[in-house]
Amino acid sequence: MQSIVLNYITEDDVSLNSCLYLPNDENTDVENLPAVLLFPEWWGLTEHIKDKAKALAKAGYVALAVDMYGNGRVTSDAQIASERMNELLQHPDLLSERVQLAYNNLRAVAEVNPNKMAALGFCFGGRVALDMARDGVDLCGVVSFHGMLNTQTPAQKGVVKAEILVEHGQLDSMCTLQNVDEFRTEMDAADVKYHIDVFPDTKHGFTNPQATENGKRNGADLAYNPVVAEQAWNNALAFLTRVLKA
């Protein structure tokens, strides 16, 4: 597996340092590989997200762990994380630019088949990935892990190209079961192909090994669930195999 820092610059000179992982160990003639964008939680481009990108590369995908905040910034402070996330959510043009840059740069990688791409996101990143689908970006699939399901731009019939998989915790207090029901209603109205897995007794952040500690530090309702994390990841791998490798 090869790893490369893929740097690109926004119009307002923010340096985004995303991490690209290639499945080939040497400079072979591998090409036309499926590719996956990974959008991180509000903490930023943490080792958790990089580890998931590495796992995808080992499974045969070109994977880009996306830097959304610039200079690879990360934090374990929920107030700082919230400020950075909300800065982008409150300025959709900035958010859209960073998403589009990540998408375009991954598409341009020589080994990538631009017709076999997916997006995967965690928490804030889940919202980002789902909004890519809502916007009609040319993706085969989108996966959300304990993602934010609400949006300012609901899906419209005939626009969404991606099939969607949502992995959600029943006890997620940051995105409730009511939000899940609202998401179902939105997807059904737009005739989107989707599936939702709801895991019992599971809280927000369940995939992240640091979630429980981060929750205690910040007084947030977070908890890592290794059993559910593995099950959800296997569900995602099966989904990606079907939509990208079939």
The predicted pLDDT at position 26 comes to 56
Domain segments of the chain as ranges? 2-245
Which of these CATH numbers, 3.40.50.970, 3.40.50.620, 3.40.50.1820, 3.90.870.30, describes 2-245? 3.40.50.1820
For residue 98 the two structure tokens come to: 């960073």
The predicted pLDDT at position 56 comes to 98
Q: Considering the entire predicted model, what is its pTM?
A: 0.96
- 139 Cβ contact list (under 8 Å, min separation 6): 117, 118, 119, 132, 133, 161, 162
The predicted pLDDT at position 28 comes to 44
The predicted pLDDT at position 25 comes to 57
Beta partners for residue 4, in sequence order? 20
Reported as half-sphere exposure (CB side, CA atoms, 13 A), residue 179 has a value of 18
pLDDT tens by residue, the chain, 246 residues: 899 999 999 999 999 999 999 997 554 446 799 999 999 999 999 999 999 999 999 999 999 999 999 999 999 999 999 999 999 999 999 999 999 999 999 999 999 999 999 999 999 999 999 999 999 999 999 999 999 999 989 999 999 999 999 999 999 999 999 999 999 999 999 999 999 999 999 999 999 999 999 999 999 999 999 999 999 999 999 999 999 998
Strands 194-199 and 163-169: parallel
User: CA angle at residue 163 from 49 to 108, to 5 degrees?
Assistant: 60
The predicted pLDDT at position 31 comes to 76
Rounded CA Rg of the chain:
17
Beta partners for residue 167, in sequence order? 145, 197
The predicted pLDDT at position 1 comes to 86
For residue 112 the two structure tokens come to: 């990538």
Q: How many CB atoms lie within 10 A of CB 195?
A: 12
Strand segments, DSSP code E, in the chain are 2-9, 15-22, 33-39, 62-65, 112-122, 141-145, 163-169, 194-199
